[in-house]
Amino acid sequence: MEEIAQRAGVSRGPLYHYFDSKQDLFAAVYEEVEQALAAEIASEIQNRTAAETDAWQQVLVSSQAFLDVSLHPAVQRIALLEAPTVLGWEARGHIMRYGLALIRRGLQNAIDQRLIEPQPVEPLAHILRAALSEGALYIARAKDQAAARAEVGAAIERLLEGLRQRRQRKSGK
């Protein structure tokens, strides 16, 4: 806390006014990272699918965008590697608030458009988030992160393809 206070140009007192501990401070930083990740992914969805009304493309783009942002060193260190250790289950609250909400919304839109077979969206969203998180961890720990990113991206697309309505797969839509 002393080093953080020095870098911020304040005494430790003001830091302890806002944060009871290093863990509280880390939780605030982690929340900022998760919020920024969700905003970057939402922006990427909007940029890549501006002309698309197909929720399927939005699910694909958002999944790939998550993997892209997982290449950032700060995201790897804070969100993927340290947050689960430092915050434990508390980190899940941030994930639920930001990343899982995007996934849930995308999957529900695809179900509503009959691109994915009707099913309970909540467990599906958790399973997709888990696959993406594990894929991002694999990328973060890989010696060749670019190759790992390509492999994980392809694997996620194959998993998602299994969710598509059969008639959608046959017609190529």
Give yes or no for residue 32 having a pLDDT over 70: yes
For residues 124-147, give the mean pLDDT: 93
The crossing angle, in degrees rounded to 10, of helices 22-48 and 99-112 is: 30
pLDDT by residue (tens digit) across 39-92? 777 777 777 655 556 788 888 988 998 899 888 888 788 777 777 776 766 655
Give the per-residue pLDDT at 15.
63
Q: For residues 111 and 97, what is the distance between their CA atoms, to the nearest angstrom?
A: 21
- Tell me if residue 6 falls in helix, strand or coil: helix
Give yes or no for residue 124 having a pLDDT over 90: yes
Can you give the pTM of this predicted structure?
0.73
**Domain annotation for the chain: domains and CATH numbers:** 2-171 (1.10.357.10)
Give the per-residue pLDDT at 92.
57
Contacts of 70 (CB under 8 A, 6+ apart): 76, 80, 135, 136, 139, 140, 149
